[in-house]
Amino acid sequence: MNPMDEDLRRQINQLVDTYRQRCLWFLRADYYPTDLQDVLRTLDYIRRYGDREAFRKAGELYQWLSRTNSAPGVSGMSGLRQRSGL
């Protein structure tokens, strides 16, 4: 994954912690995604197995990360905190 700023990593880890028991029960208890592929897969699990709020929060992060990483020359992810509502 492109280098993630501390705030983005914190937001992702917080979401994982919030939905770990309900949506990520099949992963290790100490699991946190470490690269973009893992983050997107984890967000997809949260969207798939969570409630409406989980779907919204994970979906916003998922869309933002997917868009950001598909655009050439875009490496900054610090704008996520304003968009995610986390």
3-state secondary structure 17-75: HHHHHHHCCCCCCCCCCCCHHHHHHHHHHHHHHCCHHHHHHHHHHHHHHHHHHHCCCCC
Mean pLDDT of the chain: 83
37, 52 Cβ separation under 8 angstroms: no
State the Cα–Cα distance between residues 79 and 85, nearest whole angstrom.
Answer: 11
Whether the pLDDT of residue 82 is over 70: the answer is no
Least confident interval from 6-10, 12-16, 66-70? 66-70
Is the pLDDT at 73 greater than 70? The verdict is no
Domain boundaries, given as residue ranges, for the chain:
10-84
Q: What letter represents residue 11's amino acid?
A: Q
Does residue 13 have a pLDDT over 80? yes
